[in-house]
Amino acid sequence: MTYTPSPTRYTNGMQYRKTGNSGLVLPLISLGLWQNFGGVDNFENGRAVLRHAFDNGITHFDLANNYGPPAGSAEENFGRWMAKDFAPYRNELIISSKAGWNMWPGPYGGPTGTKKHLIASCNDSLRKMGLDYLDIFYSHRVDPDTPLEETIGALVQIHKQGKALYVGISSYSPELTRQAAKILADEKVPLFIHQPNYSMFNRWIENGLLDLLGELGTGCIGFSPLAQGMLTSKYLNGIPEGARANNEKSSAAMSAMLNEENLHKIRSLNAIAERRGQTLAQMAIAWVLRDKRVTSALIGARTVDQLDDSLQALNKLEFSAEELAEIDLYATEGNVDLWKSSSIIK
Ligand code: NAP
């Protein structure tokens, strides 16, 4: 059926924040297609989630070359959803992609930060999604085997050719972020945005990165604010059917995290959220947005109902000092964290 977006999509409660020093705003809640939108997932369900997002003012969809599974299939599906539903609204959308992790076989397919990989991948992403340009293109990871000048030089080229209007980096340490910003500034390209993991359970960006981004005038979009579902009430009574802790890729790591000690922390956080009149998911999203240097919370959603629940975080964004202190009793840096060891490259 032809899709007509809700006429109230910009008056329905979504709020927007400026991205660093740029004039461009992003919605406080952005939607990522890392999981739930691949070739193995239900096409019409993914389509319904995207429609619901746009109908509620979510103007930013985040992708990467390798999202799926299988790798690459989320961008292929997104190309179909664009063609079927969103093409007339392209000017209303901020669409991002990234490269740096594994994508195709052989030495150039990743993980790598070479110019060869980034440029070829950006071209593939444009083709798969049927887009003339990306809004944001990211270096997905630091590659210790490629000079930073080469990786960031690829972003400069992509920007100068108009293949991406803005460029960003993901999971770079403060020191490498500073170096990347300098390489870009020398070419008169702003470092528009950084995409780090950020949640009540993973606060690494508070140890220098957020201050640096404020100083550089670079935006910050925090990914996995729900700690992949652990900062919701879904695991309080066991592992439900279809949840990520049941899926092949994530189940071992997540099940290990869902031990009695951590469940006690999640239950205690859930009680704080209830007292605030929110679900835990809503409180977790509001929490990452409490610092205005965080431009957007980059969430995932498997169903329309989950997205609906998460969207209502915007109804209560403020925290009292007492609430923040109580949250800190149960959620501190790195105590229940799937990303800590794997993601940030110093
Ligand atoms: P998340 O928001 O922390 O987790 C999303 C998952 O939480 C959903 O799949 C669902 O899990 C559960 N969920 C969502 N809303 C819920 C609700 N209201 N109630 C109960 N459960 C709920 O984010 P994420 O999916 O891990 O990541 C979000 C996006 O960040 C990705 O799509 C991607 O764009 C980006 N990302 C970037 C990087 C990077 O390296 N730059 C890495 C990771 C992610 P179930 O499926 O189990 O129901």
CATH number at residue 216: 3.20.20.100
Task: Give the per-residue pLDDT at 246.
Answer: 84
Mutate to test the pocket of ligand 1, among 28, 223, 246 (most ligand atoms within 8 A of CB): 223
For residues 39 and 68, the answer to whether their CB atoms sit within 8 Å is: yes
> CA torsion sign, 36 to 164 to 51 to 14?
positive
* DSSP single-letter state for residue 142: -
Tokens of 50: 């995207």
Residue whose CA is at the smallest distance from ligand 1 atom 12: 229
Domain count, the chain: 1
Give residue 210's identity as a one-letter amino acid code: L
User: Considering the domain boundaries, does residue 308 fall inside one?
Assistant: yes
Q: What is the pLDDT of residue 52?
A: 98
Predicted pLDDT of residue 333: 64
Q: At what angle do helices 209-216 and 174-186 cross, to 10 degrees?
A: 20
| Residue pLDDT tens, the chain, 346 long | 899 999 999 999 999 999 999 999 999 999 999 999 999 999 999 999 999 999 999 999 999 999 999 999 999 999 999 999 999 999 999 999 999 999 999 999 999 999 999 999 999 999 999 999 999 999 999 999 999 999 999 999 999 999 999 999 999 999 999 999 999 999 999 999 999 999 999 999 999 999 999 999 999 999 999 999 999 999 998 888 889 888 776 778 888 889 999 999 999 999 999 999 999 999 999 999 999 999 999 999 999 999 999 999 999 999 999 999 999 999 986 667 766 644 555 4
Of 331, 182, 188, whose CA–CA distance to 271 is shortest?
331
Instruction: Work out the number of other CB atoms within 10 angstroms of the CB of residue 246.
Output: 13
Q: Label residue 286 exposed, middle or buried (CB < 10 Å: 0-12, 13-18, 19+).
A: buried
Ligand 1 nearest atom to the CA of residue 343, by list position: 40
Supply the Cα-derived Rg of the chain in whole angstroms: 19
Q: At 320, list the tokens.
A: 């009292």
Query: Is 103 within a domain?
Result: yes
Structure confidence at residue 341 (pLDDT): 42
What pLDDT score was predicted for residue 332? 80
- Cβ–Cβ contacts within 10 Å for residue 42, how many? 11
State the Cα–Cα distance between residues 344 and 275, nearest whole angstrom.
34
**Rounded distance between C-alpha atoms, residue 59 and residue 90, angstroms:** 10
Domain-located, residue 120: yes
Which residue segment(s) compose the domain that 166 sits in? 16-229+288-316
CA 299 to ligand 1 centroid distance, Å: 5
Task: Read off the pTM.
Answer: 0.97
The conformation of residue 291, written as its DSSP 8-state character, comes to: S
Q: Is residue 59 part of a domain?
A: yes
Q: Does 148 reside within a domain?
A: yes
Report pLDDT for 275. 98
Structure tokens at 293: 């240097």
- Cβ–Cβ < 8 Å for 146, 114: yes
In a domain, 181, yes or no: yes
- pLDDT recorded at residue 301: 98
* Alpha-helix residue ranges (DSSP H) falling in the chain: 43-55, 73-81, 115-129, 148-160, 174-186, 209-216, 251-257, 260-275, 280-288, 304-311, 321-330
**CA of residue 107 to ligand 1 center, whole Å:** 30
Using CB distances shorter than 6 Å, the residues near ligand 1 are 32-36, 62, 140, 170-171, 195, 223-229, 232, 234, 243-244, 281, 298-302, 306, 309-310
In a domain, 78, yes or no: yes
CA-nearest residue for atom 48, ligand 1, is 243
Ligand 1 atom 33: residue of nearest CA = 32
